Structure 1
């Protein structure tokens, strides 16, 4: 399994790269079909965010669904430990789900996590760049002179059922998931509501711009 480590707004020393490889090598049993794990290390220079200044994002790519986890701490070694723990749990969930599908057993309800403040913290400012043009590519742009940062990412569309979309949403640790509904062929978004409740918004591709407002 290939492991790639990149730094955003920071240098990644060889010592940390070696530590990453050692930690992630223990996940082989949980991710036998994984081909690559992408590790992204980000440093936040804002002094007010010192306690979560180091963020580590892990993304498992292979024949199955993309599985992702991230965590922040005051040092990158601690952030890595937290992210690996989250990733291990999601890999176990994916492995158990595959076993249940082979046995034709319905998955139990997923555990709804509370709102994650770390995931929604402002991202570091970057210079305006072009929009993503290839699947998997992501770019960040600032909104005028404001501190608002917009991150854009291009994904390959895949038709799936609502149940599969909810499973995928849990595996990547997001509060929403964009997909093509296999039954209607419409672009749709699954998202968390309160408790065990979920919502799905679908777009009518034939509507005009004046009809495109959606109320949640």
Structure 2
């Protein structure tokens, strides 16, 4: 298993790199097919965020969906422990899913109402949003870039991902594995770009575009 540790806006000491390798050594017990774990450490310099100034993001790449976990704390060692706890929980859930794969699948309720009705209930507005263009530099899956909107302090991180068509059930599963509130995917049945997102309680919503695509890489604004 390869472990790659990188720092964003911060240096990573050899002592911490060694600590990461020791803490991640047990990952192979829960995911025997893991090939690589990417560890990204980000330091927040804003004094108001001192309690969460160190953020650790773990991305596990193995046979099957990518599994991601992240956490923040006042020091990177504590953030790493929290992130590993989340990662291990998602690995256990993935293991249980594989074990029960043959059982009947139950897909959570999906909101299929018109988009304007969904936005009205969820507090959406018709106000114009700043326009963000996709940089030409994003040409290969995995490419990412950060841009700002005019003179504002808003920073937009864009990353290109390869998109294989999948079912709605698989999209729900993979969204839970990465711990996000939304998931962008290509619907296997309709070939439409779709966004799955969490609503209230245990319900989910899906927004689809009416233009089918061929499974080309997609841009994720995260």
Residue pairs, 1:74-85, within 5 angstroms: 74-85=74-85
Aligned position for 1:185: 191
Distance in 2 separating the partners of 1:175 and 1:42: 21
Which residue pairs with 1:166 in the alignment? 172
Offset of 1:109 from its aligned partner? Answer: 7.8
Asked if structure 1 preserves the Cα contact closer than 8 Å seen for 2:107 and 2:169, the reply is no
- Cross-structure match for 2:40: 40
Judge conservation of contact 1:37–1:61 (CA < 8 Å) in 2: yes
Aligned partners of 2:163 and 2:185 also within 8 Å:
yes
Aligned residues: 186
TM-score (norm. length: structure 2): 0.80
Return the offset for 1:183. Answer: 0.7
From 151, 158, 163, the counterpart of 1:152: 158
Runs of 4+ in 1 over 3 A off after TM superposition: 106-110
Asked whether 1:200 is paired with 2:206, we answer: yes
Q: What pairs with 1:132-151 in structure 2 (closer than 5 Å)? A: 132-151=138-157
> What is the CA–CA distance in structure 1 between the aligned matches of 2:172 and 2:73, rounded to whole Å?
28
Verify: 1:99 aligned to 2:99, yes or no.
yes
Bigger RCO of structures 1 and 2 (CA < 8 A, at least 6 apart): 2
Where does structure 2 lack aligned partners over 5 or more consecutive residues? 109-134, 213-222
C-alpha deviation, 1:130, in angstroms: 6.2
Q: 3-state DSSP class of the match of 2:16?
A: helix
Distance 2:107 2:19 in 1: 35
1:205 deviates by 1.1
User: 1:108 Cα deviation (Å)?
Assistant: 7.0
Structure 1 SS opposite 2:100 = helix
Distance 2:137 2:204 in 1: 30
Partner of 1:122: none
SS of residue matched to 2:141: coil
Q: Tell me the alpha carbon deviations over residues 142-169 of structure 1, each in whole angstroms, 9 at most, x when there is no partner.
A: 1121111101011111111111100010
Structure 1 SS opposite 2:161: coil
CA contact 1:130–1:139 (8 Å) conserved in 2: no
TM-score, normalised via structure 1 length? 0.82
How big is the alpha-carbon RMSD for the aligned residues of Structure 1 and Structure 2? 1.6
Structure 1's 140 and 176: CA in aligned 2 closer, same or farther, altered over 3 A? same
Task: Tell me the secondary structure at the aligned position of residue 205 of structure 1.
Answer: coil
For residues 130 and 148 of structure 1, the distance between their equivalents in structure 2, rounded to whole angstroms, comes to 20
Matches within 5 A, 1:6-85: 6-85=6-85
Q: 1:109 to 1:75 in 2, by over 3 A?
A: farther
